[in-house]
Amino acid sequence: MSYAEGSSWSAVEATDVMYAGGPHDGALIHLDEAEAVSEGKHIGDSPQDAYVFELNMSFGCQYRITGLFKTQLATGIMGMEDSPKSFWKQMYNQGVIDEKRFSLCFSRQPTASREGTEAGAMTIGGTDTRFHSTPMLYARNVQSTSYGIRLKAIYLRKNGGESALPDDAEEQVVHNIGVGESTMANWRIIVDSGTTDTYLPSSIHSQFSNVWKEITGHAFNNSPMNLSPEELLALPTVLFQVEAHQPSIDEELDPETTPGLSGLVDAHNPHDILIAMPASHYMEWSEKSGMYTPRVYMSERSGGVLGANTMQGHDVHFDSENNRIGWAESDCDYMGLISGVADTDRS
């Protein structure tokens, strides 16, 4: 398998019995379902219940890797597109999950190590609303086997802010970079957790940079920057306005006060989805240099990728069952969740 950026791997296909989740350092103890119900438990809520989801998984045992696969922290790659060999689709085809959907919730960690870093949670078969600090809002999936959205506008918001909803609308002024919706309609924009950074068309670099300079006083580039914590948080928040999945629109939600809706930036399309990528997500810290590097690249000929740094701070619901992609803001604190006692809305 080869990739556009030059990396590749070769593998022998094998099949083995596996399960999703569970503890990393101990065997599982099977829990009797009747006993669990009598104790007020639901099988599937605890990592100890992972045996319920075992299946015969086909996978590749890599014997040759090149490029980024040699240097990345991960020791493999998990395919999640809508195809028969993908991880979740094999679970669906074997009846382990009932519906064709899953969610990825990426937390923000300042550092990473080969020994393992908690990065959030993956929910197979649906989404877990206990992660959500805002309502789940759905964009239309415009792709068939992959996951794509229709981008309608890009904004830069002065004085930052972590949420799509500003803390102070008077101080956090939003600037549209000025790329027309008709132009963006021709772009192929995918949402890809396997791409670390975010990539946009090279044709918008001057417009993006001009607005960036208007806000910050200097042009945008991808050179390392020496920033204090206060300076980092004051950098512009990037906002992506995305076409909504019309059947999923909740008319009872106020578009001007609901985080993730576009009422404050586009009165004509108030139920479009607004995705926030703050500086804490797009600026990558290097412990070696002590500097931050912007990881938003305007380098593509056409189209682009909303990568893992855009997904960070959200529970993203890939719902192939209904051709939609849901976004809810979240801290994605998996360890905090499993140590708590909250109930799950398994929608």
- Rounded CA gap, 107 and 225, in Å? 23
pLDDT at 132: 95
Question: What does each of the 347 residues of the chain score in pLDDT, given as a tens digit?
Answer: 876 567 888 999 999 988 877 655 565 556 565 666 566 655 555 666 777 788 999 999 999 998 877 777 677 788 898 899 999 999 999 999 999 999 999 987 655 565 666 778 999 999 999 999 999 999 999 998 889 999 999 999 999 999 999 998 888 999 999 999 999 999 999 999 988 899 999 999 999 999 999 999 999 999 999 999 999 999 999 999 999 999 999 999 999 999 999 999 999 999 999 999 999 999 999 888 999 999 999 999 888 999 999 999 999 999 999 999 999 999 998 888 877 644 444 45
Question: What span, in angstroms and rounded, lies between the C-alpha atoms of 295 and 305?
Answer: 12
Tell me the pLDDT tens digit for each residue of 68-99.
777 776 777 888 988 999 999 999 999 999 99
111 touches 287 (CB < 8 A): yes
- Quick one: pLDDT at residue 28? 59
**pLDDT computed for residue 115 by the predictor:** 61
Query: CA-CA distance, 35 to 37, in Å (whole number)?
Result: 5
pLDDT score recorded for residue 2: 78
How many other β-carbons are positioned within 10 Å of the β-carbon of residue 42?
13
Position 60, amino acid: G
Over residues 99-136, the pLDDT tens digits come to 999 999 998 765 556 566 677 899 999 999 999 999 99
Compute the half-sphere exposure of residue 152: CA atoms within 13 Å on the CB side of its CA: 17
**Residue 274 · residue 240 · CB < 8 Å:** yes
Element housing 311 (H / E): helix 308-311
Give the global pTM.
0.88
| Distance from C-alpha of 101 to C-alpha of 116, rounded to nearest angstrom | 26
133/138 Cα distance (integer angstroms): 15
| DSSP conformation class of 343 | -
φ, ψ at 81 (rounded to 5°): -75, 175
Q: What distance in Å separates the CA atoms of residue 154 and residue 168, rounded to the nearest whole number? A: 20
Contacts with 307 (C-beta within 8 Å, 6 or more apart), sequence order: 192, 193, 195, 196, 197, 198, 199
The 8-class DSSP code of residue 246 comes to G
